[in-house]
Amino acid sequence: MIRLYGVNDDGNSVLMRCHGFTPYLFAPLPPDLPSSLPNSSLGAIRQALDMRVRGAARSSMTRDLPSCVLGVDVVSDVKSLTNYHPPGKPLPKFLQIFVAMPGLVPTCRKLVEDGLRVELGGGLGSIMIQGTSYESNVPFLLRFMVDCDVRGGGWLEAPPGSYSIRSSHETRSQLEIDLVYTRLISHPCDGEWSRMAPLRVLSFDIECMGRKGHFPEAEQDPVIQIANVIHTKHPCGEEESVGSIGRMVLTLDSCLPIPSSHVSCSPTEVK
């Protein structure tokens, strides 16, 4: 599951949980392997990989997983960027391996590098899966962003009927929704989608009673003042303070009034 945090047009904080996207990697296959394998052979490869991955991974990681390897597929429409491929010749074949957790990708990569032989069944004999894996070092979140064309700071849309709203919240987000990642729409940063969301920004500064020549230390240098400003940046560029606490100063002991700011005095750092 991928968690995406953002703000909608109304300025409400949103947590979007995207389900169904799984980590994967590619392993090289023998060039003489048929382009299309029967489901029984693919199942045999998946079971063999699943057994080996479960045995090689930490038990704490796989204990509650029904399967470590969720599926495999033979692909021939991709090619390596590091190896020259002569024009006009068939593209090499790769095995795309889908695993249950991002932490299982390194385990599967090590198995591919060491090599494992798999019986295909159905009179097809066996194959040796061994060699350099591909795209096995791509961070899971980056993999999701690349595959789903998600841009940092861009606009995402969950179409009507594609999501469910959670009645009980697990975070402080004002709205929490769930949807399958394939229903997610990522808009390019053009035209109306190039505008900014009404982001709420908290800026703060902490002042300490420091000793000359020493960097403040919590045990010896008390915090004497914390000032913060909360404001909302709107799409057109204007800024707006948030309520009566938009400009606030927390101070130790006493402080003179500060125009346009709420001052809160405390006798100690704790209170």
- For the chain, the domains span 2-20+148-194, 24-140, 199-266
Q: Convert the pLDDT of each residue in 22-81 to its tens digit.
A: 999 999 988 777 767 888 889 999 999 999 999 999 888 888 899 999 999 998 777 676
Is the C-alpha dihedral spanning 216, 219, 224, 229 positive or negative? positive
Determine which of 8-17, 60-69, 83-92, 195-204 has the lowest per-residue pLDDT on average: 83-92
pLDDT, residue 84, reads: 64
Q: Are 23 and 140 in contact (CB under 8 A)?
A: yes
What DSSP letter does each residue of 156-201 carry, written as one string? EE--TTSEEE-SS-SSS-SEEEEEEGGG-EE--SSGGGGSPP-EEE
CA 218 to each of CA 40, 203, 224: distance values in angstroms, whole numbers, following the listed order: 65, 21, 12
* pLDDT category of residue 243 using cuts at 50, 70 and 90: low
pLDDT, residue 271, reads: 67
Q: Which of 260, 225, 235 is nearest to 246 (CA)?
A: 260
pLDDT, residue 206, reads: 93
pLDDT, residue 75, reads: 87
* pLDDT category of residue 121 using cuts at 50, 70 and 90: confident
Tokens 């769930």 locate to 178
CA 76 to each of CA 22, 116, 211: distance values in angstroms, whole numbers, following the listed order: 20, 21, 67
pLDDT at 167 over 60: yes
What residues have CB less than 8 Å from 182, skipping those under 6 apart? 20
Q: Are 255 and 265 in contact (CB under 8 A)?
A: yes
Give the whole-angstrom CA distance, residue 265 versus residue 258.
12
**Average pLDDT value for the chain:** 88
Q: Which fold has domain 2-20+148-194?
A: OB fold (Dihydrolipoamide Acetyltransferase, E2P) (2.40.50)
pLDDT, residue 66, reads: 94
Tokens 């509650």 locate to 64
Average pLDDT over residues 205-212: 88
pLDDT, residue 59, reads: 85
83's tokens? 């190896």
Three-state DSSP class for 4? Answer: strand
Pairing of strands 199-208, 223-233: antiparallel
43's tokens? 């199942």
Average pLDDT over residues 102-124: 89
Q: Is the pTM of this model over 0.85?
A: no
Which tops the pLDDT comparison, 18 or 198? 18
Q: Which of 170, 200, 147, 249 is nearest to 3 (CA)?
A: 170
* Cα 102-17-54 angle, rounded to 5 deg: 25
